[in-house]
Amino acid sequence: MRVLVTGGAGFLGSHLCDRLVAAGDDVICLDNLFTGRKSNIAHMLGHPQFELIRHDVIDPFKFEVDQIYNLACPASPPHYQFNPIKTTKTSVMGAINCLGLAKRVKARVFQASTSEVYGDPAIHPQPESYWGNVNPIGRRSCYDEGKRVAETLFFDYHRENGVDIRVVRIFNTYGPRMHPNDGRVVSNFIVQALRGEDLTVYGDGLQTRSFCFVDDLIEGFLRLMKQTETIGPINIGNPGEFTMLELAELVIEKVGGPSKIVHRELPADDPKQRKPDITLARKHLGWEPTIPLAEGIERTVAYFRKEIGA
């Protein structure tokens, strides 16, 4: 199959490209390299099934492909808040361009949506039927609302034009190739611990998150694209719930060294709890996460040790 992956040089996109190439697909990786890095895909450059195209998803593009995975969008708060207007444009116009192409070439098209569409959730854990509690005018809104409009576009193209869509709502994912400066909690903690610095916990550290290892997540993507039982939206994430304090303690244990935990003020709109209800993924995809947090953290620590030379 010929597959287009937008955002293919990023953290998740590069792992997805690996799996697709390994499965024998021809992969076009379209990326403007804003947060993606050539080093993530360096091992595939020159491979006969892999092609990198430096291009912005907000500008139109045309390829003869059978499938499209739309992952292009900065995903971590410091990156998506760097140019918030551009972030909304990337989500909205990127979705329009992918959907327009899918309609023309009759490709199945996948949208990497996010648990952020649930905002600061009033119910817990979050099923796909929950509509969310999102601030439309805050610092995170460019990302959250951009992703919500992208979902709207996907479902309208499906209803109006019969486009064959798949929408996944991704919960916090971690693993090798995360950007060391992306400001996400797992990479923050690991990098701080490897540098022997104290680990910064926001607020009292009792807010919880669920963390999915990247290999599990990508398996969910591939299963969603293969089957015809559901178009989504479908939650993919690890329902195992950990407080920030528990995560910090695990990282300190795996890295070793002198780091301690220090507390800082909680940023605006930081959700207190986030945990996926994965009933639908279990039912339709036969999917659930298999890699425990301790093992995933160990593999991620090994990556960052090399990456930052600690």
Ligand X SMILES: NC(=O)c1ccc[n+]([C@@H]2O[C@H](COP(=O)([O-])OP(=O)(O)OC[C@H]3O[C@@H](n4cnc5c(N)ncnc54)[C@H](O)[C@@H]3O)[C@@H](O)[C@H]2O)c1
What does the binding site for ligand X look like in residue numbers (CB under 6 A)? 6-7, 9-13, 31-36, 56-58, 71-75, 90, 112, 114, 170, 172-173
The single-letter DSSP state of residue 8 is T
Q: How far is the CB of 117 from ligand X (least distance, A)?
A: 9
C-alpha dihedral (131, 281, 295, 302), degrees to nearest 10: -70
157 is catalytic: no
Catalytic residue among 118, 143, 157, 174: 143
Residue placing its CB nearer to ligand X in the complex, 114 or 192 = 114
Q: How far is the CB of 257 from ligand X (least distance, A)?
A: 26
Q: How far is the CB of 260 from ligand X (least distance, A)?
A: 27
Residue placing its CB nearer to ligand X in the complex, 5 or 301 = 5
- State which amino acid sits at residue 232: G
Q: Note whether 296 and 240 are within 8 A (CB).
A: no
Q: How far is the CB of 5 from ligand X (least distance, A)?
A: 10
Q: 272 is written with which tokens?
A: 């207190």
Residue placing its CB nearer to ligand X in the complex, 56 or 145 = 56
Q: How far is the CB of 64 from ligand X (least distance, A)?
A: 20
CA distances from 290 to 40, 192, 240 (A): 24, 27, 11
- State which amino acid sits at residue 202: Y
Residue placing its CB nearer to ligand X in the complex, 73 or 247 = 73
CA distance 304 to 244: 20
The single-letter DSSP state of residue 54 is E
Residue placing its CB nearer to ligand X in the complex, 189 or 259 = 189
**55-68 b/e with 16+ CB inside 10 Å = b?**
bbbbeebeeebebb
SS3 (DSSP) at 224? helix
Mind telling me the catalytic residues? 143
